[in-house]
Structure 1
Amino acid sequence: MAEQQVLDTELLSQYRESLGDDGLKATLATFDQIIQSYANLLHQAAKQKNEEQLRSQAHKVKGACNSVGLLQLAKLMERLEKDAWEWPQAERLLIEWADSVSPHRQQLNQWVEQEAY
């Protein structure tokens, strides 16, 4: 997966140009506030084996990740949302997503710091 693009740097550059560095950082802070509750709802749906709820939450998480340029995380959620899967596959995707959030978010922070005015 390392070869796949983690960040949508074009989107992030547009945000930075229109919002400025402080606005971009505020957007990321909002993402950080909501993503944990979204993740909790995802895991709750998986624990209950509620496929409809899991797919619905995956859609929300995908949108949140796309909105801050976290492409690879969004693609994992899209697979949960749209693909045919059995529960063991869904659980592996959730684990892969959860394990990727922190390093991808760190890459995003590094990009913001490198690109800051």
Structure 2
Amino acid sequence: MYSLCLDCGATNVRAMVVNEQGVIVGKAAQPNATLPGEENPEFHIWDADRIFKQLSECAVKALEGLDVKQVVVATVTTFGVDGALVDDAGSLLCPVISWKCPRTAE
């Protein structure tokens, strides 16, 4: 049995697959970075769709050669200080603002 661990950090997006003994049996990573805000190039935002795509690509790569039916749990960790406002349907109301954005200084 395997655990799939997904991590979205400020500098990298990663996936690791760990077996029952805690041994990493698959892994993949891609660089991650904020984008400038459309309204101000000094603003820092995250592209949630891009991050989801990167996590998916990393998961597929980390699972290469493994029996995906053996994945019994998945975990996701992200930056602890960034967030997003969503409506009742789960749609983003505004871009995901990074802690590095000057709008968060106050």
For the aligned pair, the TM-score class normalised by the smaller chain equals 0.3 to 0.5
Q: Which has the higher helix share?
A: 1
Give the alignment's TM-score, normalised by structure 1: 0.30
Which structure would you say has the larger Rg? 2
